[in-house]
Amino acid sequence: MRERGGPAAPGGGTGAPPPGEPIATATDELPSAEPVSEEPAAGQEALLRDQLLRLRADFENQRRRELRERTEARSRAKAELIERLLGALDDLSRVAHPAVTAEASDPRVASILEGVQLVERKLLQELEREGLERLASEGEAFDPALHEAILTQPAPEVALEGRVAQVVQPGYRLGERLLRPARVVVWAAAP
């Protein structure tokens, strides 16, 4: 009897046994089957489970990273927009609170001034709702991280030394980010 995979039949035939020779059956001379061990399957399952857990962790990490990056990008964009609006807010403030008061007796001037003050208040309220905080007020301690001293003046009393005498241009902070330091005049020790 010829085994599978053996030499080809003589004469280039199909490999079928010659007539009269019995055909091998499934039970004839089969190699003994070795029992399949459960250990390789359990090891494979553990490996696949480990890979699945790692993929889940990678996916969660990626999702958190993208969420954090999107949040940071939104915060940066908001801060940049508000920073660009600060110049317009300063201009509105200069018009709404002029150093020299105009003829208040003229109703047209008073009406325009009142309208500008209203626009300034509304804009500032909306920016504060977004987290904008105005820095520096007269009398508070000078902080070089928040204030930019442009002038010093002799303090009329010792208790005022190192304090803000006048706010020339207010500073602003959005959350923890300083958008612009306040430009201030500081009381200094008398010479």
Dihedral pair phi/psi, residue 21, rounded to 5°: -90, 140
Instruction: Mean pLDDT check: name the lowest of 94-98, 169-173, 186-190.
Output: 94-98
User: What digits encode the pLDDT tens for the residues 46-73?
Assistant: 999 999 999 999 999 999 999 999 999 9
Question: Is the CB of residue 130 less than 8 Å from the CB of residue 78?
Answer: yes
| pLDDT-based confidence at residue 190 (cuts at 50, 70, 90) | confident
Residue 1 has a pLDDT of 47
Provide, rounded to the nearest whole percent, the portion of the chain with pLDDT above 90.
Answer: 53
Distance between CA 52 and CA 27 in Å, rounded? 42
CATH fold label, 133-191: Nucleotide Exchange Factor Grpe; Chain A, domain 2 (2.30.22)
**Over the range 26-61, which residues count as b (16 or more CB within 10 Å of their CB) and which as e?**
eeeeeeeeeeeeeeeeeeeeeeeeeeeeeeeeeeee
123 pLDDT exceeds 70?
yes
What is the DSSP pairing of strand 132-135 with strand 171-174?
antiparallel
126 pLDDT exceeds 90?
yes
Whole-structure pTM over 0.85, yes or no? Answer: no
Q: Write the DSSP symbol of residue 13.
A: -
Question: Is the CB of residue 130 less than 8 Å from the CB of residue 164?
Answer: no
Rg of the chain taking only CA atoms, in angstroms: 43
Q: Is the dihedral of CA 101, 103, 109, 110 positive or negative?
A: positive
